[in-house]
């Protein structure tokens, strides 16, 4: 999906986002490139706003680990090792980590969140899973699973690991 200033205006984005976007993408930009640049510029709120208005896609980000300040991805995130985020992580789809997921601030996923070890958001921040899941699919697609239940899990269907 291509994001451009006309699209942002149609969605009633704020002037700050429009100005930032026009400076970085005068001819428009592909959705994930825009999300990546917003995170690189320490604007995860802008990335999250764009993702919420553009909608998720079926892409999958796969890697051994993620260690960064902010990470917003339009599709699903599948990491074989650990996810270590200084501030904020969001996926349009689900988030999976073979080891743990740790963020200094919040964790949001359109679908479920699964980790081999723990899932931990920053103090006084929340974990939201299943934000784009129909109620009839809640127990299947909004699944949250880890070695221990996160204390700040606000949204998602918790399932103990076997």
pLDDT for 121-130, tens place per residue? 999 999 999 9
| 46 pLDDT above the threshold of 90 | yes
pLDDT digits (tens, 9 = 90+) for 51-87: 999 999 999 999 999 999 999 999 999 999 999 999 9
**The pair of three-digit structure tokens given for residue 15, joined into one six-digit string:** 């002037």
Cα–Cα distance for residue pair 121/128, rounded to 1 Å: 10
**pTM over 0.75, yes/no:** yes
Pick the closest to residue 158 from 74, 4, 142 (CA basis): 142
Residue 49 phi/psi, 5-degree rounding, is: -60, -45
pLDDT of res. 162: 73
Structural domain for 93, as ranges: 60-158
Do 30 and 66 share a domain, yes or no? no
Cα–Cα distance for residue pair 59/31, rounded to 1 Å: 11
| 105 pLDDT above the threshold of 80 | yes
Total domains present in the chain? 2
Do 72 and 41 share a domain, yes or no? no
pLDDT of res. 160: 86
- Single out the residue in 54, 79, 97 at which a domain terminates: 54
């Amino acid at each position: 999906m291509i994001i451009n200033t006309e699209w942002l205006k149609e969605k009633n984005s704020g002037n700050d986002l429009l100005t930032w976007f026009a400076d970085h993408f005068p001819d428009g930009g592909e959705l994930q490139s825009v999300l990546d640049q917003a995170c690189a510029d320490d604007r995860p709120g802008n990335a999250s706003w764009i993702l919420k208005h553009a909608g998720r896609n079926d892409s999958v980000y796969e890697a051994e680990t993620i260690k960064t300040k902010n990470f917003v991805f339009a599709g699903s995130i599948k990491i074989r090792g650990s996810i270590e985020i200084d501030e904020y992580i969001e996926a349009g789809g689900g988030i999976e980590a073979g080891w743990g997921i740790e963020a200094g601030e919040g964790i949001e996923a359109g679908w479920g969140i699964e980790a081999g070890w723990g899932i931990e958001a920053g103090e006084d921040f929340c974990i939201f899973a299943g934000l784009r899941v129909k109620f009839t699919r809640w127990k299947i697609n909004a699944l949250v699973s880890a070695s221990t239940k996160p204390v700040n899990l606000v949204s998602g269907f918790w399932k103990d690991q076997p």
